[in-house]
Amino acid sequence: MACSAHLLSQSLYSSHRGSPGALRSLRSQARPPARASPAARPGSSARGCCRGVSLRVAASFEQGRRQVEVSYDPQAKFNQLADQIDKDAGMTRLNLFSPCKINVFLRITGKRPDGFHDLASLFHVISLGDTIKFSLSPSKSRDRLSTNVPGVPVDESNLIIKALNLYRQKTGADNFFWIHLDKKVPTGAGLGGGSSNAATALWAANQFAGCIASERDLQEWSGEIGSDIPFFFSRGAAYCTSRGEIVQDIPNPLPENLPLVLIKPPEACSTAEVYKRFRLEQASQVDPLTLLKEITQNGISQDVCVNDLEPPAFEVLPSLKRLKKRIIAASRDNYNAVFMSGSGSTIVGIGSPDPPAFVYDDEDYKDVFVSEACFLTRDENEWYREPISSKAAFSKDDLPASVID
C-alpha cells in the first residue's frame, strides 16, 4: 500500500543535517528581495535565470516596444529544497486526528458462546475527536504516553500502547514513540474514543515503518485488542456485525452536512454493567438490514434509530432516560431523531447542532458535556482530517454569564 500522500498536511516533520526547520519556516515567510542592479526592475533579483525565476513578456503597441519582466520567487525555491529534505530524511513526528463514532442504530441479535454478544449496527465517524502527537523515541524498549486529561491511564493498559505493541508484534518493526494525547472525546460516552485512539496509533506506526502493512492488515489485527477498533479502518461509515469486527463499508449513507448535537451527563455508563442487564427478549425484533435500507434510501427518522442497549443503560443510569425524554419534548421538531449512542451515556440529536435551552438553564445540567458535530468520512490511504469548521466541545461553565442568566 502506498504511503498516504497527505501526511505533510497533517504535521509531518523530518530531521536532516543542516537546518531543515529554518528552510521550512520560509514556506510561510517570504524572504526580502535581493538588492536590484541598475538593469533590473525594482523587486526582481539580479541573479541569472534558474528554478524559481519566471519570465513574463508583454507587448506595448502604444509605445511600439517590448517590455520584459524578470521576477524571482525565493519562496518557491526554498519550498523545493525543504520538500527534498523531507523526502530524503524520513519521518520523525506526526500529528493525527482521532475522531469518534456514533451508532446510528444498534441491534443486539444474540449471545455468543465466548460470552460476547452478536450485534448489527450502522457505525458512522463524526467530527468530534482527539489529537494525537507521535514522535520517534530514541528508546528501543518502551513507549511514553502523556495526556491532557487526569485519570486517563498512560501505562500499557491504554489502547494506544496496546496498539503499538500489537504492530511491533505483527511486523517486527522496532520503532518506539513519545505520544501526547490531547483528549476532547469524553470517556464512558459510547463514542468509541479509546478505540479510535488505538486505530490511529496503528495507522501512525505503519506510516513510520514505511507502510509495510495494508489497511486490511491493520483492520484485521486491530480486532485482537478491541471489537470497535476495526471499524475505524472503514471509510467512515460501515455496517458492522458479529462482535463489531466484521466491517462492511457503506458509501455515503448520510450527508456530511447533516448537523448533530451530542449531550452527555457527567455520569458514565459501564459497558460491562449495561450488557449484564441486557435481556434479549426485550430487544427490538426489527431486521437490522431493513433499518439499513431505510436509512440509505430515505434518511434519518426516529423509527430507524433503534438502540437495544437503551433499556439496560437506563436501568444503570435512570437520569439518562429522563434526559432523552426532555430533549425530545423540548426539541419542537428540531431533530430528526434522538437516541443513545453505543452503551451510553451520550444522547445524540440529529438535524440540529444546537442543544435545547434547558441544557443551559437547568441547574441539574450544569456539568453536561455538549458538542456539535457532523458526519465524517475519509479517502482510501488517507487518515481522517478534522473539519476546519468544527467547533470545540463545551460545558455550561464555558458559557458567558450573560448567556446563562
Catalytic positions:
101, 228
Instruction: Report which residue type is found at 135.
Output: S
Q: Is 222 left (phi over 0), alpha (psi -120 to 50) or beta?
A: alpha
Distance CA 236, CA 382 (A): 12
- Coil, helix or strand at residue 356: coil
Helix (H) or strand (E) holding 76: helix 74-89
List the one residue out of 255, 204, 209, 226 whose CA is nearest residue 95: 204
Q: Residue 297 is placed in which grid cell?
A: 434510501
Distance CA 252, CA 118 (A): 25
- Name residue, grid cell 488505538: 198
Q: Residue 363 is placed in which grid cell?
A: 441547574
Burial 317-353 (b: 16+ CB within 10 A, else e): beebbebbebbbeebeebbbbbbbbbbbbbbbbbbbb
HSE toward the beta carbon, residue 122, CA cutoff 13 A: 24
Q: Residue 325 is placed in which grid cell?
A: 425524554
Neighbours of 361 (CB within 10 A): 14
- Coil, helix or strand at residue 110: strand
SS3 letters across 119-168: EEEEEEEEEEEEEEEEEECCCCCCCEEEECCCCCCCCCCCHHHHHHHHHH
List the one residue out of 259, 260, 258, 262 whose CA is nearest residue 370: 262
Distance CA 176, CA 156 (A): 13
